[in-house]
Chain A
Amino acid sequence: MRFSYRWLKEYLPVKKTIPEILDGFTISGMEVESAVDLGALSGRIVIGQIEKITPHPQAENLANCLVNAGGERPLNIVCGARNMKEGDKVPVALEGAQLSNGITIKHTRIRGEVSEGMLCAGDELGFNNDHSGIFILPEEFPIGEPLDMLIDISITPNRGDCLSVTGLARDLSAYFNKRFSQPAVRILETMDHIENHLKVTVQNREACPRYGARYIRGVRIGPSPGWLAYRLESAGLRPLNNVIDATNYVMLEYGHPIHAFDIDRISNHHIIIRNARKGENLEMLDGTVLTLTEEDLLIADPREPIALAGVMGGKNSGITPSAINVALECAYFDPLTIRKTRRRLGKQTEASYRFERNVDIEAIPRVLDRVATLIQQISGGEIVQGILDVKNFKSAKKFISLSIKNTNKCLGTNLGPREIADLLVPLNLEISNSDTENLLFCAPSFRNDLVREIDLIEEAARMYGYGKIKPTLPYLPSKPTTQTKIVMVEKQIRDILQSLSYDESITYSFTSSDLTQALGLPLEESVKLTNPISSDQDIMRASLLPGFIQSVAHNLNRGMLNLRLYEIGKTFKRKKDDIQEEIRLIAGICGEKSSSWKQKGEPVDFYDIKGLGEALSEKIGFAGLLIEPLSGGNYYHPRRSARFIKGEVEICRFGELHPLIADCLELKRRLYIMEMNVSQIAPLARKTIAYQSIPKYPSITRDLALVLDDSVSALEVEELIRESAGAELESLVLFDLYKGDPVPRRKKSLAYSLVFRAPDRTLTDEEANETMQKIFDQLKERFNATLR
């Protein structure tokens, strides 16, 4: 809600400085969204009057303006605009003024002529977007006074009563401990009664518990006076004509939307409030044609709809320049009905916004009186006697009891009944009963948000000031914190990956179904968004891969070719009627190993990602894993991918990204990835550490360099060595793999280092030699191995 400070000040019953007012709003819960100073704070933008305009001697398109800005002598200001004339009131930016566009005003010479300031256009001030000429101010504005300030308050959805200038003044007055009452209206009516001219029938009483109408005849449509147009514009509304402007003005003033009909365009002068018929059409004031449903509430005449209740008027009954007789509507519409219609049609208006947040049902006659007198004042005409007031609700006072004990218990304060009463009474809450323990209040009709005790406790706290409530620390019983296995494993994984130089990435939980499909991932179980923000974020990810690949590609495309990246995050799958959320890990590596001036990094390969899988599995508590080639490779390289299994359970899978996919995504490097379903394996992880005593006897080390067929796997060789070596083989390490001269084609050389040790004696060379022979014999027999 944006408005002019000048306007607010007119209602505020206390004298406060601008900083006090802005602080007061914020501290009482009316957050100041922005405050555009038009001189009220700085004093450097003032109201001036043009006394004389003479042509600039050097420049045809400039003029010298002699401006009375309240000083001892008029100022000479050079101006390029043409729209002003002598006698006009204009905004004058004086030396030192800072305009909202960042310009600071200085005394200067323009083409030889002294210019002691600047006359401003609406957009230069930040008042509106108008740059067509100098902003001509209302003629009532006093010369020499600072111009104004535009205050924008962000009003929370519970406070519909503050969507008006008087509503805000009322709440702020209470904060300054002063009770505010809206000004009384004096109305002059004809002898003739409205019932002779207008008929109102409410068919849907739930949706329209009160409908009030007034009738003015003989208005002259024309532009609004300057002061009114200025105030409308300060609130961001465009002036249209004096009758429509008056309805908007009173809405901004009192918070209650009002609609004006040209009564001569309403058939039979009969207004009917009814639900729309399915498929019924209505052309709105803004020219759009809406197709309605039976849920929508309409204002209609016996022939056709004339307005969409609480949202916008119809074109067929609006106030045009030829209107003479006007019917004014001020009603209470059910907030939910308006909200449903507004949401379905996507038509938010100043009116619907207020109806959705509740208007004051009791204020209807007063608002009608106010708008009728204002129209009479600015458009002429006569107000026909009486209000057609169709009431289908019971006026009832709303009593709320407040316990002193509960108040203090909730707030941590020690307030007495007297203090609490003093806080709440300025909010127009009436005390109707009180004792030492309880206060019984009657809530004003405009505060629809006050329903139960806690609402009053909040009001007391708000008026007391949150800042005055002393901070305390609650007592908590001590107990061990609980952590799930998944959370613990997740932390371990991050630690390990961090130590292995992997950076963490986080991507959106939604992803593209197209990319998912392109990667060969299934879509059947995927969770689809019904309102995605874009078509490439249309499903919840069932795999981390699509988002991860996008992060990798982002970096590769920007020249970061060596990367180690991972993500741990949730994935989503539809399982019958349920949705399964699982935490998964993906890690990827590409480019070269860390290189330096000492050593050029080698390209990473399958064994780097396998090594990661091994390290992770072991550290989180999986020993004795079996490796298995990945069958049905999907997005993995069919010959360079595998998984570790423990019994039936897959611990992780890893390998090179399928070259066809890498090609399709134009990845600039081979990417090796590893995936783990953390949710599934974490509960199975068992990390047990059993200390082994440090050996007492020395070991014997032997190397074994074999030449084998290419098709023999390292695992087979290793298993056979272990099997034939027996318990004294302490460790077995492959330290070299060699292919090429002098090793024959289709052969490879594997070189192992074997360490033997006995727990109870020093092994002899002879024993070691014997074992080595046994191992070699086995290798020779099984794999036709030779020594190199």
Chain B
Amino acid sequence: MLDIIVKNLEELLPALKADLKDVHTTRDLEEIRVAYLGKKGKLTTIMKSFGSLDPEERPKAGKMVNDAKDKALEMLIRKEQDINEKEILLQIDNEAIDLTLPGTATPPGRRHPITQVLGEIEEIFVSMGFDVEEGPDIEDDYHNFEALNTPPFHPARDLHDTFYVEGGLLLRTQTSPVQIRVMERKKPPLAIIAPGKVYRVDMDVSHSPMFTQVEGLMVDEKISFGDLKGVVEVFIHQLFDKEAAIRFRPHYFPFTEPSAEVDLQCVFCRGSGCRVCKQTGWLEIMGCGMVHPAVFENVGYDTNKYTGFAFGMGVERITMLKYGINDIRLFYENDLRFLKQF
């Protein structure tokens, strides 16, 4: 009897193998599984014939059947994986799409270019240890002019055509009054920048009646013109180009002495001369200088002990140079076709 079982078992796996050969779908595979391993399947039928075996032959036969069952299962699983994979591959082939249709994420909004560049400027100075301070847009004559060593009827006032408001106050023509307000409040050492809007009666492609300035001030016991050069150079190199040449040239501001204007080698022509730099090869970036002793005297700082430097720059101008914008009025029209570019 055992012989017959052995023979049947030996024939079972090759038969299964042969049957699986033509199977291509999950459903067909299920039929085969039932035909072999189901309640009325071939293997079950063999097991049912165990009843006629001698008790001592049963363990051996049992082991043989279990082995055969394991092998059959393995073959079925492998076939199942095979079919699965083929079905997915077939599905993939039918899933071609037009890759060139536009993507559909909602784009984030844009910060105004002035806000962006101002942010960059602030970040550079804050990383160097400067604090950010603010002051009022509507100022008094004392803070905007007199305390800055610009008495009434000083010729330098001609450079600042001033807006006045009813009641005698004025719209600050520069962010420099923040220097005074901070020094009135705090003692050195000081390192601050003061961004803000400033106003001058002026309007054309390069002048706007309102524009943005960033003022800087550093005061301590040993601050020199060399320090001013160092800080300004680091700043400009960070903001523009680490390789660009920088030039300091004497200038005049009532509240600094020595005063300088800082030129950056033209970013458009690399110094060879073009329309933007008016053929000079240089672009004016900011004004700066050592704080005038008269200013320290006005805020009660000891001029024997303290020295300091101050600088100021126009954010619109820097933004125009950075992005090649040729009309300052674009900043305040808020045309989306402009704003969306930054």
Closest Cβ–Cβ distance, residue A626 to chain B (whole Å): 29
Could you jot down 28 A-B contacts, CB within 8 Å?
Answer: A26-B249, A28-B250, A156-B252, A159-B252, A356-B155, A411-B225, A411-B226, A457-B257, A461-B225, A466-B229, A469-B226, A473-B231, A474-B218, A476-B191, A494-B111, A498-B109, A501-B106, A501-B107, A505-B334, A509-B171, A509-B197, A530-B166, A531-B201, A540-B138, A540-B165, A551-B334, A555-B335, A563-B336
Chain A residues with CB under 8 A of B191: 476
Query: Shortest 8 CB-CB distances between A and B: which pairs?
Result: A412-B226, A29-B250, A412-B224, A156-B252, A157-B155, A505-B334, A551-B334, A471-B229
A474-B220, A537-B209, A560-B337 given; A579·B138 CB < 8 A? yes
Chain A residues with CB under 8 A of B164: 529-531
A712 in the interface (beta carbon within 8 A): no
User: A596 and B197: CB pair below 8 A?
Assistant: no
User: B293 and A483: CB pair below 8 A?
Assistant: no
Mask for A478-499, Cβ within 8 A of B = 1, else 0? 1101110001000000100111
B258 in the interface (beta carbon within 8 A): yes
Chain A residues with CB under 8 A of B257: 454-455, 457-458
A691 in the interface (beta carbon within 8 A): no
A-B contact count (CB 8 A): 229
Instruction: With a 10 A CB-CB cut-off, give which of A409, A504, A551, A572 has the most chain B CB atoms.
Output: A504
User: B250 and A572: CB pair below 8 A?
Assistant: no
User: A469 and B229: CB pair below 8 A?
Assistant: yes
Closest Cβ–Cβ distance, residue A235 to chain B (whole Å): 20
- Cα separation A565 to B340 with both chains bound (whole Å): 11
User: A505 and B293: CB pair below 8 A?
Assistant: no
User: A527 and B138: CB pair below 8 A?
Assistant: yes
Q: Which of B239-265 contact A (CB under 8 A)?
A: 247-252, 257-261
B159 in the interface (beta carbon within 8 A): yes
| Interface size in chain B (residues, C-beta < 8 A) | 80
Closest Cβ–Cβ distance, residue B261 to chain A (whole Å): 8
- Cα separation A471 to B237 with both chains bound (whole Å): 13
Closest Cβ–Cβ distance, residue B258 to chain A (whole Å): 4
Chain B residues with CB under 8 A of A26: 249
B131 in the interface (beta carbon within 8 A): yes
User: B106 and A594: CB pair below 8 A?
Assistant: yes
Chain A residues with CB under 8 A of B37: none
Chain A residues with CB under 8 A of B197: 509, 570
Residue of B nearest to A528 (CB): B166
A474-B220, A504-B112, A506-B114 given; A565·B334 CB < 8 A? yes
User: A156 and B226: CB pair below 8 A?
Assistant: no
Closest Cβ–Cβ distance, residue A521 to chain B (whole Å): 18
- Cα separation A664 to B261 with both chains bound (whole Å): 49
Mask for A153-176, Cβ within 8 A of B = 1, else 0? 000111100000000000000000
- Cα separation A498 to B339 with both chains bound (whole Å): 13
A336 in the interface (beta carbon within 8 A): yes
Closest Cβ–Cβ distance, residue A539 to chain B (whole Å): 9
A27 in the interface (beta carbon within 8 A): yes
Mask for A247-287, Cβ within 8 A of B = 1, else 0? 00000000000000000000000000000000000000000
User: B109 and A487: CB pair below 8 A?
Assistant: no
Q: Contact partner of B249 among A27, A476, A479, A537, CB < 8 A?
A: A27
A746 in the interface (beta carbon within 8 A): no
Chain A residues with CB under 8 A of B203: 533
- Cα separation A413 to B228 with both chains bound (whole Å): 13
A503-B110, A572-B137 given; A157·B158 CB < 8 A? yes
Chain A residues with CB under 8 A of B110: 498, 503-504
Chain A residues with CB under 8 A of B6: none
A458-B259, A579-B138 given; A411·B109 CB < 8 A? no
Chain B residues with CB under 8 A of A2: none
A34 in the interface (beta carbon within 8 A): yes
Q: Which of A558-612 contact B (CB under 8 A)?
A: 558, 560, 563-566, 570, 572, 574, 579, 581, 594, 596-599
A500 in the interface (beta carbon within 8 A): yes
- Cα separation A34 to B158 with both chains bound (whole Å): 21
Chain A residues with CB under 8 A of B334: 505-507, 551, 554-555, 565
User: A508 and B210: CB pair below 8 A?
Assistant: yes
User: A461 and B250: CB pair below 8 A?
Assistant: yes
Chain B residues with CB under 8 A of A466: 225, 229, 248-250, 258, 260
- Cα separation A700 to B158 with both chains bound (whole Å): 76
Instruction: With a 10 A CB-CB cut-off, give which of B108, B201, B336, B340 has the most chain A CB atoms.
Output: B336
Closest Cβ–Cβ distance, residue B328 to chain A (whole Å): 12
Q: Which of B106-154 contact A (CB under 8 A)?
A: 106-112, 114-115, 126, 128-129, 131-132, 136-138, 153-154
Interface, chain A (partner B; CB < 8 A): 26-29, 31-32, 34, 156-159, 335-336, 339-340, 343, 356-357, 409-413, 452, 454-455, 457-458, 461-462, 466-467, 469-474, 476-479, 481-483, 487, 494, 497-510, 527-533, 537, 540, 551, 554-555, 558, 560, 563-566, 570, 572, 574, 579, 581, 594, 596-599
B269 in the interface (beta carbon within 8 A): no
Starting from the known contacts A506-B332, A594-B106, 9 additional A-B residue pairs (CB-CB under 8 Å) come to A466-B250, A472-B224, A474-B230, A498-B109, A503-B339, A504-B109, A527-B165, A551-B333, A555-B336
- Cα separation A455 to B102 with both chains bound (whole Å): 65
- Cα separation A508 to B138 with both chains bound (whole Å): 14
- Cα separation A356 to B156 with both chains bound (whole Å): 11
B317 in the interface (beta carbon within 8 A): no
Interface, chain B (partner A; CB < 8 A): 101-102, 104, 106-112, 114-115, 126, 128-129, 131-132, 136-138, 153-156, 158-159, 163-167, 169, 171, 189, 191, 197, 199, 201, 203, 209-210, 218, 220, 222-227, 229-231, 233-234, 247-252, 257-261, 278, 280, 290, 292-293, 307, 331-337, 339-340
Residue of A nearest to B220 (CB): A474
Chain B residues with CB under 8 A of A598: 104
Q: Contact partner of B201 among A29, A505, A508, A533, CB < 8 A?
A: A533
User: A554 and B109: CB pair below 8 A?
Assistant: no
Chain A residues with CB under 8 A of B218: 474
User: A470 and B138: CB pair below 8 A?
Assistant: no
Residue of B nearest to A159 (CB): B252
A158-B252, A454-B257, A473-B234 given; A581·B293 CB < 8 A? no
Chain A residues with CB under 8 A of B102: 596-597
User: A156 and B223: CB pair below 8 A?
Assistant: no
A339-B155, A461-B250 given; A498·B307 CB < 8 A? no
- Cα separation A497 to B109 with both chains bound (whole Å): 7
Closest Cβ–Cβ distance, residue B194 to chain A (whole Å): 12
Closest Cβ–Cβ distance, residue B128 to chain A (whole Å): 7
- Cα separation A356 to B336 with both chains bound (whole Å): 47
User: B227 and A473: CB pair below 8 A?
Assistant: yes
Closest Cβ–Cβ distance, residue A458 to chain B (whole Å): 4
- Cα separation A356 to B158 with both chains bound (whole Å): 11
- Cα separation A504 to B233 with both chains bound (whole Å): 31
Chain A residues with CB under 8 A of B104: 596-599
Residue of A nearest to B333 (CB): A554
Chain A residues with CB under 8 A of B335: 554-555, 558, 560
Chain B residues with CB under 8 A of A409: 222, 224, 307
